[in-house]
Each structure stands twice: as C-alpha cells, then as structure tokens.
C-alpha cells in the first residue's frame, strides 16, 4: 500500500461524464482520493453523502475529491445524478488503480471478483501521500475527521 511520504501513484480514469481525469492534473491542490466498493450500496452512499454534505469544508481546505470504484462510467453517472455528488466519480473498471493503491478485494460478497476496498488517501499539492487508510471491512467508513485534520495541517 502506498504510505504517507511516498509519491501517490498517478492515474488517468474516465469520470461519470466520460471525460478523462488524471491525478497529476490536480498538481497544486490537495486531493482526497476515496475508493469505494460499489455504487448504490448503503455504506457507499452514506460515505459519499458525508463528503457531499461537507463539500464546503473540503473546498475551504483547498481539497478536490476523487471517488473511485470499479463500476462502469454509466453506473457512476446514474449514482452521481441520483445523489447530486458535486465531485468526480471515476471508473476503475479495469481495476488497475485499485491494485496500484493495494485497496482491492480478490473476492467480495456474492463471490464478486475484483472490487475496491473502502479507503481514503490524502495527496498533497506536490503529489505526496499524507494520509492513507484502507479498511478491511466494507461496513466501516474512513476516519473523515483524520482526513480533515490532515488537510488542515497542509494549509
């Protein structure tokens, strides 16, 4: 797993609007990179709604949010529309980014293969990881207080 102090693995993925988004495109901004198992599931919805409802806080901390799952861009577009998420949802359909961040279930519930683990990374303006949390249980949510405290310390 990438750990604090390491350069964050760069990636380019399609968002729910079918546009390519790269982590390196946010150089000069802090980025919260969230991986979540699946769109439309209860804990994922609650997790991303927490980010949506606190978007002003993250904006004030000069942070962009990138939320990544292995869902298709089309599924993510519907999820984003339903929940009115004001940030990018990115499709790691080929599972390469989840593997690069070592936040990956070989086998998930219902024997689904290759699903992202729920996790949170804070990447600073220079592309260095400042916070990393990968959860083994999909029922848990990241420590958003720790994420916000990390962002505060960077500003």
Residue 49 appears among annotated catalytic residues = no
138 and 117 in contact (C-beta within 8 Å)?
yes
Grouped pLDDT means (10 residues each) for the chain, 155 residues: 92 97 96 93 84 92 96 96 96 96 87 89 97 90 94 93
Strands 30-35 and 119-123, by their bridges, are: antiparallel
- Fold of domain 12-138: Glutaredoxin (3.40.30)
The one catalytic residue among 34, 44, 76, 120: 44
Residue 142 sits at the vertex; the CA angle it makes with 139 and 148, to the nearest 5 degrees, is 160
pTM, 2 dp: 0.94
Where along the chain do its domains lie? 12-138
């Amino acid at each position: 797993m990438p750990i604090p102090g390491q350069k964050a693995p760069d990636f380019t993925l399609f968002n729910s609007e079918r546009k390519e988004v790269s982590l390196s495109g946010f150089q000069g901004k802090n980025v919260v990179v969230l991986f979540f198992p699946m769109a439309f599931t209860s804990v994922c919805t609650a997790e991303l709604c927490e980010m949506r409802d606190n978007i002003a806080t993250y904006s004030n901390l000069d942070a962009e949010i990138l939320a990544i799952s292995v869902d298709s861009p089309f599924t993510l577009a519907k999820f984003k529309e339903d929940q009115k998420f004001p940030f990018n949802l990115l499709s790691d359909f080929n599972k390469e980014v989840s593997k690069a961040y070592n936040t990956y279930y070989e086998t998930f519930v219902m024997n689904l293969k290759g699903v992202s683990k729920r996790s949170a990374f804070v990447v600073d303006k220079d592309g260095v990881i400042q916070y990393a949390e990968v959860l083994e249980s999909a029922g848990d949510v990241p420590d958003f207080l720790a994420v916000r405290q990390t962002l505060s310390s960077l500003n």
